[in-house]
Every structure is written in structure tokens, then in C-alpha cells.
Amino acid sequence: MKGIDVSYHNGVVDWQAVEAAGIEFVIVRSSYGLQSKDPMFAQHVAGAKAVGLKVGAYHYSYALSVADAIQEAANCREAIDSTGQLFEMPVWFDMEDADGYKKRKGFAFDRAEITAICKAFIDNVGLDCGVYASYFWLCDYIDWRSLGCAVWNAQWSKNDDIKGYMWQYTDRLEIGGKLFDGNICYI
């Protein structure tokens, strides 16, 4: 299946154009950090469902410890529950450090600790959950095999070297004059 992922940063999405482009699913950012919710989450979920897309969610993590991850799982679950919607796709935990927050806080980037943080979130969110990360992170920072969960590999190239549940192959999929992250779901 072909899909996209969206967050507040994508702004208002023309869901009719997305569906017309052959997109079958969307993963919507629900939340981030300990307490923050994506302000467009409910709107994106409703718009995607209105045109018949399958929907999942993702949480961007600022967790520096297992305790943080448990609190983030509660934040994510609260955001999802607030929509009153059932989701057809998993929830994804994004533990990367795209904005440098973890580095600025002196996070050690220890593989065992990062994997423990991922496990704590997955075990506490109470929904079907997997991990999202770049190929580099999946190779060097997350022992994803030990987690026993679905894997969403972000590897912007012609090849998916993980071939897990899902592959994010580009950040430049154009639909209706806007750019999205493009994804393939194998399941």
C-alpha cells in the first residue's frame, strides 16, 4: 500500500487530492514529548477518514529515560483516545533526535538505553505499536530485533535494507503542489 505521514508542519491537507493520487493510508503525528499534542491531529485524522484512508499515528519522543517514555506513552494514548476514532494502522514511536534536543541535554545515545526507552513506550501505550527510525538509527542505536515489534524504516533511497512493516522512501512526494513523506506498507 502507498501512504504518507503528516503533522502540523504539513498544514491543511487536501485529502481529496491525496486519495486521488492513489494514497491508501496516512500516519498522523498525534503527540510529542511528555505532554504536547499535535494541534492538527484530530483535523488530519478526520480528513483522512472522510476520504476512506486507513489511519495510524506516530509520537515524536523527547524521552531521556524509561520514566519519560512511560509518560510519553500516556500522552500519546490520550491524544489518540481524544479523537474517538479506531485506527487501522499501528502507532509508531519515533526516538530519533532530529532537532538535537537529546544531544543538547547530554543524552548518552547508548544502544541499550535507547532500546529500553523504546520498549517502555511500546509496552505502555496499550495499542499495536512499532518503532520508526532512519536506517542509521535502526542499525546503530535501536536493537529493533529484540523489541519484537513492527519496524518502519526511513531510508530515502531506491532500496529498503530492513524490509520490515513499512518503508519511508522519500521526503519529496508531491501531491497537489505540496511535498509529503512517501511510504510503502508491506502488510
**Cα–Cα dist 23/182, whole Å:** 9
- The CA distance from 140 to 37, in Å, is 29
Report pLDDT for 146. 97
**How far is the C-alpha of 73 from the C-alpha of 126, rounded, in Å?**
8
Largest CA-CA distance found in the chain, in angstroms, rounded:
45
CATH of the domain at 96: 3.20.20.80
User: Residue 114 CB: number of other CB atoms within 10 A?
Assistant: 25
Can you give the pLDDT at residue 145? 96
Domain of residue 143, residue span:
2-185
Closest-CA residue to 142 (of 128, 156, 132, 127): 132
Whole-number pLDDT of residue 187: 84
Whether the model clears a pTM of 0.85, i.e. scores above it, the answer is yes
How far apart, in whole angstroms, are the C-alpha atoms of residue 46 and residue 187? Answer: 23
pLDDT per residue rounded down to tens, the chain (187 residues) = 999 999 999 999 999 999 999 999 999 999 999 999 999 999 999 999 999 999 999 999 999 999 999 999 999 999 999 999 999 999 999 999 999 999 999 999 999 999 999 999 999 999 999 999 999 999 999 999 999 999 999 999 999 999 999 999 999 999 999 999 999 999 8
Contact 18, 24 (CB under 8 A): no
Over the range 69-108, which residues count as b (16 or more CB within 10 Å of their CB) and which as e?
bbbbbbbbbebbeebeeebebbbbbbbbbeeeebeeeebe
User: What pLDDT score was predicted for residue 85?
Assistant: 93
pLDDT at position 86: 93
pLDDT for residue 127: 97
Domain count, the chain: 1
